[in-house]
């Protein structure tokens, strides 16, 4: 994929998520590795619904901003995933409603944020770590991700939103949508004795699909 194609793909997928209400206003940010080891990043204060391919922030392989507008203030968060996960080709952060709502529930498992309601979140995300609340843009968010030592492809920032790293932009977007869908199911089923997947079924998924599933 050329850089021009990657720029267009970032903006196309971001607009798709915006149009379907997965993030609103000027919330959320997205980044992707370029062929030369640099990064394309959504600029600060921009809307997923109106990203301009020609104005994306462009970093070189050494982390210097070389073109485009000022990047998102969440760069430490993105950099933490790229620095700790060699397979990360893209990072997406949303303010999706149901995942944020689920992060506020008092009985949520901090080490395994999503309940095992369907196979797909397990397959696409592995275990999602719930991180505490940080002020937006706080570099401590990046340090918290670094503290996971690359063992998680997805985290949930409490009262804020999910962040997912994937092998490429499409994979990261698909995974973060699965996270939101599962959180929505969890909210719908809250207080109902729903039949979740059993531990044996979860382990079968982990083994069959080679899921990262640290204990």
**Cα dihedral 43→97→114→209 (10° resolution):** -50
d(CA 185, CA 175): 15
Write out the catalytic residue numbers: 74, 120
Strand order, beta sheet including 29-33: 65-67, 57-59, 39-41, 29-33, 90-93, 161-166, 154-157, 129-131
Burial class (CB in 10 A: 0-12, 13-18, 19+), 145: buried
Cβ–Cβ < 8 Å for 125, 152 = no
């Amino acid at each position: 994929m050329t850089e021009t194609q990657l720029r267009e793909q970032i903006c196309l997928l971001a607009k798709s998520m915006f149009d379907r209400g997965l993030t609103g206003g000027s919330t959320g940010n997205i980044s992707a590795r370029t062929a030369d080891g640099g990064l394309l990043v959504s600029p600060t204060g921009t809307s997923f619904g109106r990203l301009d391919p020609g104005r994306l922030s462009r970093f070189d392989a050494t982390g210097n901003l070389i073109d485009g507008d000022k990047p998102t203030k969440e760069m430490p968060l993105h950099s933490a995933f790229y620095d700790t996960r060699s397979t990360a080709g893209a990072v997406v952060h949303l303010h999706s409603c149901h995942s944020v709502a689920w992060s506020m529930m008092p009985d949520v498992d901090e080490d395994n944020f999503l309940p095992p309601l369907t196979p797909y979140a397990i397959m696409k995300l592995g275990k999602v770590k719930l991180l505490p609340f940080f002020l937006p843009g706080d570099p401590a968010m990046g340090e918290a991700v670094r503290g996971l030592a690359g063992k998680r492809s997805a985290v949930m920032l409490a009262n804020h939103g999910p962040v997912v790293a994937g092998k490429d932009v499409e994979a990261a977007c698909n995974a973060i949508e699965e996270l939101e869908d599962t959180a929505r199911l969890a909210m719908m089923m809250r207080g109902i004795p729903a039949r979740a997947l059993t531990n044996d079924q979860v382990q079968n998924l982990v083994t069959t699909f080679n899921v990262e599933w640290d204990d």
